[in-house]
Chain A
Amino acid sequence: MTDEPLLRVSALSKFYGSRVGCENVTFDLWPGEVLAVVGESGSGKTTLLNCLSTRLLPSSGTASYRMRDGQWRELYRMSEAERRFLMRTDWGFVHQNPADGLRMTVSAGANVGERLMAVGDRHYGRIRATAVDWLSRVEIDEDRIDDEPRAFSGGMRQRLQIARNLVTSPRLVFMDEPTGGLDVSVQARLLDLLRGLVTDLGLAAIVVTHDLAVARLLSQRMMVMKDGRVVESGLTDRVLDDPRAPYTQLLVSSILQV
């Protein structure tokens, strides 16, 4: 067992002109650890996620990632080819809107198989068998494998997106409001599924959400953001049960009790 982090983020900032996207964010993420980033719209959490996943380049700061061979690489110094390779092998990105992360006009099976083909798998039977396996892991019936996601419900689409991301056994998954826009009952099922997958696969994940219940269920650690800055961070249950920053207290006290 290695006791090294997977991702090291140091003083990361992103400015849009004079406007702050996120400012001076520093943290380490360990293998198998789920970090929730919470805050309201405009708090900079999505900017942070986009910077970390190299979809956006930060204005300053560094982020290093420990590759599968154990080598540390600075994300923003990697070539685009390397970053894109990382994105479709060792990383996943789950979008809030499944349509952003899926190919809506190709079948569910092809959506799951695409990453395998992208890394050079050229055996149709094997690709399909893997797709069947993953569809069942995200609780999609095998007989839907040749249907296009257009014919799927929102919850199914989201589960398909998750399968599509996990098929290459990534070590780090970025999630942007993975349960946003879903019915409450569908959310619960998805959360439970995600929780199981994350535990079984030992995934590290960074989950952006405004929903504290999602953060509590999925994450061990959380960061609370406001106006682009991290106002509080720590163990998820500690932050939620004993919030210290004024903003976190406001956030926690704003939850509707059911």
Chain B
Amino acid sequence: MTDIATYNFAYLDEQTKRMIRRAILKGIAIPGYQVPFASREMPMPYGWGTGGVQVTASIIGPDDVLKVIDQGADDTTNAVSIRAFFKKVANVAVTTETAKATIIQTRHRIPEHPLNADQVLVFQVPIPEPLRFLEPRETETRKMHALEEYGLMHVKLYEDIARHGRIATTYAYPVKVEGRYVMDPSPTPKFDNPKMHRSPALQLFGAGREKRIYAVPPFTDVVSLDFEDHPFEVQTFDQPCALCGAGNVYLDEVILDDHGGHMFVCSDTDHCEKRRADGHHGHLAPETHLALEAKEPAE
């Protein structure tokens, strides 16, 4: 049948999973607080999602349906290999459909399709400390979190405005969780920040190299930091997805040729495919005419 017998379920041993679950529970109890944990060596290099994989491995069960995305896409190396990993070591069902997944491990995006209370979103986090770039001392940043000294976070935003005339931070945009801890939402585009706010899904964050786990429980306030005269804004795009015609979604630029040809398409591939299957079309969709011709007579 399968060769799962050579691994413990979901790769990690049970004691490690218990340790990680305790860290997760503590993280849920203190929203936004970075809980140290004894990160294990995983069979993949740091930077490939070892933190997210350990969190997923600790919460996944045989009945779960796993989706893995990398920058919104289900079909890139990172997503494919992690999905294959869990298929092999946990023998779980996998999917690319957001709505069907119970656990979604993500690198740097939140799916466009709204999440529900039965879903868990697991973020891969490279640098969990939002204060790190301005304050290199871990002892000091910990103290700053403990004493709620977050002025430094605004120094960073101030610098943005001073240099660019606006808050130029577009990803890893700092948020305040439940009015207490300032948190790095991982390098997701700030476009996704509003999706974290009062999300019905549990959001877990794992940083393998930095050995930190933190969490945003369902229905928790997640507020992006800003200035009164420079309020938080998400990115806007002046054209819809070239393939599915969706507006109000996060788009990636795709280079088409060596002559400057390019298009903007949904970064969330599942969302894009769903829309196209539902008959939505962007101006560059290759099957536009075919689809139209195929569908119209039927209607």
Contacts and interface: CB of A to CB of B under 8 A. Distances in A.
Q: Does A touch B (CB under 8 Å) in the complex? A: yes
Given A124-B227, A124-B229, A125-B229, A107 B151 contact: no
The B interface is mostly helix, strand or loop, or mixed, namely helix
A115 B151 CA distance: 7
A98 to B, nearest CB: 17
A146 to B, nearest CB: 5
B151 A128 contact: no
B152 A123 contact: no
A88 B151 CA distance: 11
In which size bucket is the chain B interface?
10 to 19
A81 B149 CA distance: 9
Interface stretch (B2-10, B52-60, B95-103, B158-166): B158-166
B6 to A, nearest CB: 50
Interface in A99-136: 103, 105-107, 109-110, 113-115, 117-119, 122-125, 127-128
Interface string A35-63: 00000000000000000000000000000
A142 interface: no
B227 A106 contact: no
In which size bucket is the chain A interface?
20 to 34
B147 interface: yes
Interface in B245-299: none
20 contacts: A80-B147, A88-B151, A103-B155, A106-B155, A107-B159, A107-B162, A107-B163, A109-B158, A110-B155, A110-B162, A113-B155, A114-B151, A115-B151, A117-B154, A117-B158, A119-B151, A123-B227, A123-B229, A124-B161, A127-B158
Interface of A: 80-81, 84, 88, 103, 105-107, 109-110, 113-115, 117-119, 122-125, 127-128, 145-146
Interface of B: 134, 143, 147, 149, 151-152, 154-156, 158-159, 161-163, 226-230
